[in-house]
């Protein structure tokens, strides 16, 4: 099976309606180039550091402009439309960092709430506490589409290889990693992590990213990528501004990678024991 996939790179601002217009323009561009699956980045609908300001404009899923626009685009263009994620208001006062996959009829085929929260302290005083505003998900998802078995993750999830391995063992042939990586972490780890997840599981990785300096002052790394099961970067975008990248996904490459290095079948259960080191004067050395 072969299909054409697109990753849409954005520089989302603080206004969901304006971001919806940008999303629609870029998705139409991707579809015009033959893409039948189109992925947008994490937080397609809004990047807003001010949590009070964010909550003031966010809506529940039924009233969200990104959800509505993506559904309409999928039906209009006859594509599988994947909103990498957007912030959705929840009843408990928190938000969900939620991805959506729409079928060619515009109906929701899958929802995925980001599992791993980005709670980190970086160099130069950069600090993030995603868990303070967002409720983490608890369910991994592999969706059977007519043309592929697809696994779902979001951004920081890429640092947790067990999530990818579980989905690969469940049959995922393509893993999706929409993201809004910071420039600092992206420069250090973005490509390495994506290629590692592709190689160790023998799957394609499609990663649409946010890119550039945003209205709220943050800077994201960009470099959206599509990577094959051997870890080769098939196509990538730059580090700033909007872009649409496309690649043919030939699922025969997944089987070929698994045949060459069948680590999914060769994995074994094991126990682990921590052995204390040499003891000097009653204290472990």
Q: Which residues are catalytic?
A: 42, 114, 155
DSSP 61: G
CA-CA-CA-CA torsion sign (199, 200, 206, 210): negative
3-class DSSP string for 82-104 = EEEEEEEECCCCCEEEEEEEECC
**How remote is the C-alpha of 33 from its chain's centroid?**
22
Q: CA 141, 105, 39 angle in degrees (round to 5)?
A: 50
DSSP symbols for 172-239:
-SEEE--B--BHHHHHHHHHHHHHHHHHHHT-EEEE-BBEEE-TTS-EEE---EEE-TTS-EEEE--S
- Residue pair 5/206 in contact by the 8 Å Cβ criterion: yes
Q: Packing angle between helix 161-169 and helix 183-201, nearest 10 degrees?
A: 30
- Scan for tokens 């023998």, then name that residue: 202
> Which value, to the nearest 10 degrees, does the dihedral of the CA atoms of residues 43, 76, 80, 100 take?
30
């Amino acid at each position: 099976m072969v299909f054409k996939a697109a990753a849409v790179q954005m520089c989302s601002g603080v206004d969901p309606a304006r971001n919806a217009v940008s999303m629609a323009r870029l998705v139409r561009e991707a579809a015009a180039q033959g893409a039948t699956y189109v992925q947008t980045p994490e937080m397609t609908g809004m990047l807003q550091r001010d949590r009070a300001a964010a909550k003031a404009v966010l809506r529940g899923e039924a009233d969200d402009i990104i959800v509505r626009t993506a559904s309409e685009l999928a039906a209009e263009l006859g594509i599988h439309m994947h909103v990498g994620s957007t912030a959705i208001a929840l009843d408990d006062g928190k938000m969900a960092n939620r991805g959506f996959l729409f079928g060619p009829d515009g109906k929701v085929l899958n929802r995925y709430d980001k599992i791993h929260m980005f709670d980190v302290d970086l160099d130069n005083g950069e600090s993030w506490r995603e868990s303070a505003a967002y409720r983490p998900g608890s369910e991994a998802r592999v969706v059977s589409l007519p043309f592929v078995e697809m696994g779902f993750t979001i951004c920081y999830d890429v640092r947790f290889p067990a999530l990818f391995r579980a989905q690969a063992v469940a049959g995922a042939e393509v893993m999706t990693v929409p993201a809004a990586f910071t420039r600092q972490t992206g420069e250090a780890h973005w490509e390495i992590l994506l290629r590692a997840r592709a190689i160790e599981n023998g799957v394609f990785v499609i990663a649409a990213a946010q890119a550039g300096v945003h209205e709220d002052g943050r800077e994201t790394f960009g470099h959206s990528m599509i990577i094959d099961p051997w870890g080769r970067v098939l196509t990538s975008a730059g580090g700033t501004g909007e872009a649409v990248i496309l690649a043919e996904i030939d699922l025969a490459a997944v089987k070929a990678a698994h045949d060459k290095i069948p680590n999914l079948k060769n994995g074994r259960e094991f126990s682990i024991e921590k052995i204390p080191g040499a003891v000097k004067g009653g204290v472990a050395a």
